[in-house]
Structure 1
Amino acid sequence: MDPWIVYCDGSAVPNPGRIGLGVLLIAPDGTRHTLSRAPQLQACNNEAELRALMAALQELQARGARALRVHCDNSVVVEQITDTNAKPIARLEALFGEARALFQSFEQAELLWIPQHRNSEADALARAALGITVPRVVKIAKKRR
């Protein structure tokens, strides 16, 4: 069973502030789908990232996906969803519970952390939902000789 490949990201401007959600879905046949939403919510960046993941999972359920590989650049979200021993974040615990239940509803599901610079399309979709079209500059440290 070939998985859907997913990249998700959330933005809060300022942090906390208005949130934008960005999701890139790649179907097993290579077809690309995007989501770019700005829920009328004020939240922190971690909540924006979590809500982007939830939006992706809900969209995948609606499309009948059974297997998925999700990429997220927020280590807090990845840890809270994948590590049963992670210390709970009280303010977001109910949302994390919903996200875990959604995640576990798929036959095969994998959530992977990726560096921010490898998540640029989802980031651009999240920022575009907030009306921010200027690309974010990510500096990557060069190895010293």
Structure 2
Amino acid sequence: MNESHWTLYCDGSAMPNPGRIGLGAVLTGPDGTRHELSVATHAIGCNNEAELKALTHGLEAAKALGATDVRAYSDNSVLVEQLGAKTAGAVKPIARLAHLFDDARTLLDSFDHVSVEWIPRHRNAQADALARSALGLEPKRVARFGKRGADLIRNKANSVQGKH
């Protein structure tokens, strides 16, 4: 990791889908400084549009803070596939959002080093909470269990089964 490396976790929310769009992003600088974005766009759109706008808002914030090397993470596989498609026909494009994907690609190309990678939803809970907060919604509950917690749950389940 070089000294200018930034990390961006982004998520968009559309409630209902399609519906109002909220954006969330967690941007961490090379020195560990954290920046959080929670934006209500007052636009109506689908979840993929919300996810894409969250990415571009996060990248624009990174650019404004002087970032040249960004690793972005999204839990939206469609967004990651669309942006990663290098050859025509590799992934069926979302025609209605083509201009937004073009804008995102232009923004991505403006960085010296950049990547956009898919992550599971549970690893993106903070960005999701910020996107939902922008819409006045409560964060989703994400259950994380360490080995001890999983063992306790398993033992509890076994003891309940044993009583029947």
Structure 1 equivalent of residue 156 of structure 2: none
Residue in structure 2 matching 1:20, options 12, 19, 22:
22
Tell me if the contact between 2:71 and 2:116 (Cα under 8 Å) persists in the aligned partners.
Answer: yes
**What is the alpha-carbon distance in structure 1 between the residues aligned to residue 91 and residue 102 of structure 2?**
13
AA aligned opposite 1:17: G
Sequence identity (%):
55
Aligned to 2:125: 120
**So what's the TM-score if we normalise by structure 2?**
0.82
Q: Secondary structure at the match of 1:38?
A: strand
> Does 1:40 pair with 2:45?
no
Which structure 2 residue ranges, 5 or more long, are not aligned?
A: 145-149, 151-164
| Separation of aligned partners in 1, 2:142 and 2:47 | 17
- Counterpart pick for 1:136 among 137, 140, 146: 140
Report the equivalent of 2:67.
65
Alignment-derived partner of residue 76 in structure 1: 78
Q: Is 2:31 the counterpart of 1:29? A: yes
1:6-61 CA-partner distances (Å, limit 9, x unpaired): 10000000000001000000000000000000001000000000000000111111
Q: Which runs of 5+ in 1 are unaligned?
A: none
Give the number of the structure whose residues are more often helix, by fraction.
Answer: 2
Query: Which structure 1 residue ranges, 4+ long, deviate > 2 Å from structure 2?
Result: 137-140
SS of match in other structure, 1:41: strand
Distance in 1 between the 2:39 and 2:72 partners? 18
How far did residue 72 of structure 1 move?
Answer: 0.3
**Bigger relative contact order, structure 1 or 2 (CA pairs below 8 A, ≥6 apart):** 1
Q: CA RMSD in A?
A: 1.4
| Count of aligned positions | 140
- Give the SS at the match of 2:59: helix
